[in-house]
Amino acid sequence: MKLIELMKQLPLTNYEGQDVDITDMQQDSRLVTPGTLFICIDGYTVDGHDYVDKAIERGAVAILAQKPLAETRVPVIIVEDTNRAMAILAGAFFNHPTQAMKMIAVTGTNGKTTVTHLIEHVLRSVNQVTGLVGTMYQKIGDTIQTTKNTTPDSLTLQRLFASMREEYVDTAVMEVSSHALVLGRVHGCDYDVAVFTNLTQDHLDFHKTMDEYAVAKSLLFAQLGNDYRSNRPKFAVINSDDAASERMITATAAHVVTYGIRKPATFQATDIAISGKGTTFNLHFQAKTYPIAMQLVGNFNVYNALAAIATTYVQGVPLETAIKSIESLKGVAGRFELVSAGQAFPVIVDYAHTPDSLENVLETISDFVKGRIICVVGCGGDRDRTKRPIMAKIAVQKADVAILTSDNPRSEDPMTILNQMEAGVSAEAVYLKEINREKAIQLAVNEAKDDDVILIAGKGHETYQIIGSVTHHFDDREVAEQAIKNLK
């Protein structure tokens, strides 16, 4: 693509300088190849404007910047906000790939990964080619790529959607984080359905207040339904039981479909029964009742199943087909995943890393446990500090034996994090504290009797423990399995 042609996407820029062929766009100098337009992003850690030399050395033929640069070797285009411009240019450069497939976005504090996997599973059961973008990986059909972010930057995303278009993906299902919404990572994505799971405390290091966090989530719904050039109907699929739902509904111009348990909803669940092996409930939709017996455990997974059924229904999948598919799903990796190494007591690895999810998962276990609940939990470093005392309090109150430990301390001192967790626990409470996560898991396993249930919370599918700037291999499932073997 010619630079002048590309710059027409930024009409206020009026670029009429030297024209060159642009064969790629990059915001990371390390990925530049000859012919690239290099976009300078002023980041949280470093300033991309400082990498212009590196980019040109690697063959960049033009630079997009938001600060004046003393650069004469290649054309420099200055815009007010390179991040915003990047999203607009990325959509145009890759010829708007999101318009070539159905697009489903899932946002909310908890349940995004689970709901996207449920939707993917249902769509695959009706032979769709699917794409998936989220916390665990990016996936096209069966091909998996690892990823740094739940929702990557706009350029990475549009490039990914272009690859999906090449693979004839029918529907892309993606998690949209609140960070992504605020940072414009999904600008230019043309969604057909946006799903809201729930809003509870997390990420207050980034959003500062719950109100700000809610506004961030509502941005997804604000960008849905306004594009009347596309003749596809747009749907907002909303959890009617969540206090923040009204804000999401107000923000959108799309059709609204609700799901829930407590308040009236388009897709309503009643008669929920939970066991250690699965959940049954009745789904009510348009005066009909559908009994469902799924392998996912917990009330919160009833919400996730309803969200997936409602979403696939508005995308044309018959209800009975979606139900059958959801019933066949064994689970999502690292979410209420059972570790079995011949022991008598269930060991559950779960990704609960927020107060609400931890409380939900502990309450779910208390619905079926015969003996005690033993819970191993830590809180991430360089993340919302205010959730630490709350999570510890929940663990100590809701589990019979709470073992507080480390979970990706990152640049923080692990003991400081543990102390901040302990601040939420009353002085007379009884709990254990073990900074080494491996030892904490062994303690839990040593403590367990036949009727007990162990919950190892916070890391789920993760296969690492980040201490300082070093990423060590660490997998709760492997460590638990070894700990069980050590018993014998």
Ligand X SMILES: N[C@H](CCC[C@H](N)C(=O)O)C(=O)O
Q: Site residues (CB under 6 A) for ligand ATP?
A: 110-114, 135, 150, 175, 197-198, 300, 303-304, 335, 350-352, 356-357, 360-361, 460
Q: Is 108 annotated as a binding residue?
A: yes
Binding mask 340-379 for ligand X (x = CB under 6 A): -------------x--------------------------
Binders in 146-205 for ligand UAG, by CB under 6 A: 148-151, 153, 177, 179-180
Q: Give the span between the Cα atoms of 243 and 376, in whole angstroms.
A: 30
Number of Cβ within 10 Å of residue 125's Cβ equals 17
Choice between 48 and 460, CB closer to ligand ATP: 460
Q: Is 409 annotated as a binding residue?
A: yes
Q: Write the CA distances from 45 to 9, 41, 59, 116, 455, integer angstroms.
A: 29, 11, 24, 31, 35
Q: Give the span between the Cα atoms of 133 and 139, in whole angstroms.
A: 7
Residue span binding Mg ion (CB under 5 A) among the ranges 128-136, 185-193, 294-302, 401-409: 128-136
Q: Which residue is nearest to ligand UAG (CB)?
A: 43
Q: Which of 10, 36, 51, 130 binds ligand UAG (CB under 6 A)?
A: 51
3-state class (DSSP) for residue 37: strand
Q: Which of 36, 110, 113, 360 binds Mg ion (CB under 5 A)?
A: 113
Query: Among candidates 125, 122, 115, which has minimal Cα distance to 133?
Result: 115
Q: Which of 130, 135, 218, 354 binds Mg ion (CB under 5 A)?
A: 135
Q: Give the span between the Cα atoms of 381 and 405, in whole angstroms.
A: 12
What token pair was written down for 139? 């996936």
Choice between 36 and 357, CB closer to ligand ATP: 357
Q: Is 151 annotated as a binding residue?
A: yes
Report the Cα–Cα distance between both ends of the chain, in Å, rounded: 65
- Given ligand X, Mg ion, ligand ATP, none, residue 458, with its beta carbon under 5 to 8 Å by kind, binds ligand X
Q: Is 29 annotated as a binding residue?
A: yes
Is 272 within 8 Å of 294 (Cβ atoms)?
no
Choice between 179 and 372, CB closer to ligand UAG: 179
DSSP track, 341-389: SS-SS-EEEE---SHHHHHHHHHHHHTT-SS-EEEEEEE-TTS-TTHHH
Query: Among candidates 432, 111, 120, which has minimal Cα distance to 296?
Result: 111
Map tokens 């990475």 to a residue. Answer: 156
Least distance from C-beta 111 to ligand UAG, angstroms? 11
Sheet containing 235-239: give its strands across: 143-145, 138-140, 130-133, 171-175, 102-107, 193-196, 235-239, 255-260, 267-274, 279-285, 288-294
Q: Is 239 annotated as a binding residue?
A: no
Q: Is 384 annotated as a binding residue?
A: no
Binders in 137-156 for ligand UAG, by CB under 6 A: 148-151, 153
- Given ligand UAG, ligand ATP, Mg ion, none, residue 149, with its beta carbon under 5 to 8 Å by kind, binds ligand UAG
- Given ligand ATP, Mg ion, ligand X, none, residue 350, with its beta carbon under 5 to 8 Å by kind, binds ligand ATP
Contacts of 424 (CB under 8 A, 6+ apart): 388, 389, 390, 391, 392, 393
Choice between 103 and 425, CB closer to ligand UAG: 103
Residue 207 as a binder of ligand X (CB under 6 A): the answer is no
3-state class (DSSP) for residue 89: helix
Where is the binding site for meso-2,6-diaminopimelate, in residues?
Answer: 383, 407-410, 458, 462
Residues that bind Mg ion (CB under 5 A): 112-113, 135, 175
Residues that bind ligand X (CB under 6 A): 135, 150, 353, 380, 383, 407-408, 458-459, 462
Residues that bind ligand UAG (CB under 6 A): 27-30, 41, 43-46, 48, 51, 135, 148-151, 153, 177, 179-180
